[in-house]
Amino acid sequence: MASSSLETGHPVTKRGIWGWMLFDWAAQPFFTVVTTFIFGPYFVARLTADPISAQTIWSNMATISSVIIAIFSPILGSIADQSGSRKPWIAFFACLKIASLSMLWFAAPGSPIFWPVTFMIIASIAAEFSIVFNDSMMPRLTTPENVGRISNTAWGLGYLGGIIVLIFVVLFLAASPDKGVTILGIPPLFGLDAASGEDARITGPIAALWYFIFILPMFLYTPDVTKGLPLAQSVRSGLSELKTTLHELKGRPVLTRFLIARMLYQDGVNGVLILGGAFAAGLFGWGTMEIGIYGIILNIVAIGSCVAAGLVDQRLGSRNTVLLSLALLIIATIGIFSTQADSTLFGLLALPVSDATGLFSSGAEKAYLVYGILIGIAFGPVQASSRSYLARNITIAESGRYFGIYALSGRATSFMATLGFSLVTYATGSAHLGMATLTLFLGAGFVLLLRVPERVAPAQS
């Protein structure tokens, strides 16, 4: 079944739409396995001897990436509208991402942290810039009525891709440094040495290979705009267009309010995703195996949640879907930073401390899993339905520049969330208080989004 391109009237085949959706499938293992659940916690818990300082460094890495992304995303989006084609830009940034991820293999315990931090910054920037160009293709592929379903389905596919890689790592690569065997009781594949962190370090090259293979359908089958200005001219015209767009936002108060709300709550979402696994590693001493299983649980929940959210988005709208998801994220984040080794909810609920050595044996760890499930339900839909909200309320001709500004809204102050965590953690010595700062961003975005209507006429947007 084909869908009409809103720009040309030419059919976009089902294969073309699936090629576009597979971009999320290709890209997600970097965020799931490298940033959140395997390499990130490894960086915090094992790369250096000081987990608190390592959490701060990891947070600072995210801050630097966010500042660069915030500055250049809207510029690149405007250039994309002028140059027409998105695929050459995606290919360029894919090369940077693949090369940087491959270099994480050399981040052995005790080695200089400068290089893994540098390569993570490059990979993060390349990943986000690629997303700007990929997202801006979406309005051309389907109708406004279907964009929420397609966006959530693509996000669900991303989590499925992430969880497949994560399960592979946990079952066949992640081993106990003491016993040297995986959760299946077998030696890690490829002769990996868990004691030297090879089971975590290999996630960089694996994510790179996965990304390379599965972005190919998008390049082969998804239609791209071929007519546009030459590169040098498109850069000049794009910069001029960006200035016009920023001025134009003054006359589109509803869209401006949405972008500011999204800027705030996405900062909180980014902080939860970037810091959640590292926080658990510091709080409970979780290793690659525990963090990996935790990530599997979250992503299994996220897949089903995205499928359900696609239906909710169609019936209740993108805005309401985001609001429901934000409410769950706020509850979960409060639960996380209120949890100590023997209690949760700020000591109101005492929890048994177990002497057992099994997985998630203490009551606090089980409570953390519950909060993680709430995050799994919410963090996919809040991002997918935000993307579909924008797609419904802009024209195709302005998609590149507005998705560039959309990326800006997701990153413009995201360094504030991670920086707030770093400053508070450094000043107090408490990662719990650092995590508490994330609720300020989630809550502020929620309140502001309450004043944004579901759909607006172009003149009011």
Nearest to 388 by CA among 66, 80, 155: 155
Please list the alpha-helical segments (H only) found in 183-230: 198-201, 203-214, 216-221
H or E, element range at 157: helix 144-172
- 31 falls within a domain: yes
Q: How many CB atoms lie within 10 A of CB 255?
A: 22
Q: How far apart are CA 139 and CA 437, in angstroms?
A: 35
User: 374, 324 in Cβ contact below 8 A?
Assistant: no
| CATH number of the domain to which 67 belongs | 1.20.1250.20
4 part of a folded domain: no
Query: Going residue by residue through the chain (461 aa), what tens digit of pLDDT does each one get?
Result: 344 444 444 457 788 889 999 999 999 999 888 987 788 878 877 777 776 778 778 878 887 887 888 777 777 766 766 666 788 889 999 999 999 999 999 988 888 888 999 999 999 999 988 988 888 787 777 776 677 778 778 878 888 898 899 889 888 887 776 677 787 788 888 888 877 888 889 999 999 999 999 999 999 988 876 666 566 666 666 667 667 777 777 778 888 888 889 888 988 887 887 777 778 877 777 776 777 788 778 878 888 888 788 788 878 888 899 999 999 999 999 988 888 877 788 778 887 776 656 677 777 888 888 898 999 888 888 888 888 888 788 777 777 677 777 766 666 666 677 778 888 888 888 888 888 889 999 999 999 999 888 776 554 55
pLDDT, tens only, 291-334: 778 877 887 888 888 878 878 887 888 889 999 999 999 999 99
Query: How many whole angstroms separate alpha carbon 24 and alpha carbon 347?
Result: 40
Sequence-ordered list of residues with C-beta below 8 angstroms from that of 167, at least 6 positions apart, any chain: 296
CA distance 238 to 144: 26
186 three-class SS: coil
Cα separation, 383 vs 404, in Å, equals 15
- The answer to the question of residue 154 being in a domain is yes
Helix (H, G, I), strand (E, B) or coil at 175: strand
Structural domain that includes position 397? 12-449
Q: Is residue 258 part of a domain?
A: yes
Dist. CA 23–CA 135, nearest whole Å: 10
| HSE (side-chain half, CA atoms, 13 Å) at 375 | 29
Domain assignment present for 455: no
Helices (H), 51-104: 51-83, 87-102
In this structure, is residue 6 part of a structural domain?
Answer: no
Tokens 């309450």 locate to: 450
Q: Degrees (nearest 5) of the Cα angle 335, 340, 344?
A: 40
Residue 113 lies in a domain: yes
DSSP code string of 254-305? HHHHHHHHHHHHHHHHHHHHHHHHHHHHHHH---HHHHHHHHHHHHHHHHHH
Residue 143 lies in a domain: yes
Contacts for 339 with CB less than 8 Å, ≥ 6 apart: 283, 345, 364, 367, 368, 371
Q: Please give the single-letter amino acid code of residue 19.
A: G
In the chain, how many domains are there? 1
| Bridge partner list, 350 | 343
Distance CA(397)–CA(140), nearest Å, equals: 9
Rg for the chain, CA atoms, rounded: 21
